[in-house]
Amino acid sequence: MINPGIFLGVLVQLALLSVLDAVVGLGPLGWIAGAAYGIAVGGFLTYGLNRGTARSLGPADAVTLGRSALVGCVTALIVDTAGREIVTMVVIASVALALDAVDGQVARRTRTASPLGARFDLEVDAYLILILSVVVAQSLGPWVLTIGAMRYVFVGASRLWPWLNNPLPPSMARKTVAAVQGIVLVTAASTILPLWTAFAVTLGALGLLTWSFGRDSWWLLEQHAFGTARRVTADVA
């Protein structure tokens, strides 16, 4: 059975799509893309709740669910209007990015942080970065897609090397680099910057992201290698 909070989140997604349709107009493709996103998110959360110990969404999860509904609207605009409603898309994406700082604060203040909530927040961010990179790639080139794809390449690599799934220590640098990606991509998508400036800034963001993933991957590799060495030494002894 679907959780009432998740069901409400799907309804909110459909309601926001209706508002978007009334304001800018959405064709069948936009409706399908936005609705499919909302249903997929509902399925992801239902699966997570069924597998975990929690049986309901916390206050921070509700904020993330609302932010996710905004991302669904961005998805609908990108698929349906092919960039014709760039201002509307940029405004909605900017609000979704700004709310990223809210759900974490709510989780800490209400002491309702959970692994599912953290994963949900991460996946919403990663998906938003992916679709924004698709938009920006249309003007700056396909290399921008590397920004959106890097998280998913990392997940794919973890299937081959499970030690990449090991927990990482908290890092403000990692959080800052992740936030920079969204800000830079939204700014580049807005076309307020000259093309060469947008190119340079986006390339710089990609450099930071590559450094961040590289640093974390190296740290995980060291922990894996040293842990293996310690186990071998202990077995020999």
Note whether 185 and 150 are within 8 A (CB).
Answer: no
Over residues 95-126, the pLDDT tens digits come to 999 988 888 788 788 887 788 888 899 999 99
Note whether 128 and 93 are within 8 A (CB).
Answer: yes
Which pLDDT belongs to residue 236? 37
Q: Would you call 5 helix, strand, or coil by DSSP? A: helix
Q: On the CB side of 22, how many CA atoms lie within 13 Å of its CA?
A: 6
The position carrying tokens 């990692």 is 174
Q: What percent of the chain has pLDDT over 90?
A: 62
Q: Which residues of the chain have pLDDT under 70?
A: 1-2, 53-54, 81-84, 228-237
Q: Which two tokens stand for residue 12?
A: 């909110």
Over residues 29-65, the pLDDT tens digits come to 999 999 999 999 999 898 888 887 667 788 888 899 9
Q: What is the mean pLDDT of the chain?
A: 88
Q: Dihedral of CA 85/89/92/95: which sign?
A: negative
**Which of 45, 54, 50, 48 shows the shortest CA–CA distance to 8?**
45
The position carrying tokens 């949900």 is 120
Which pLDDT belongs to residue 231? 47
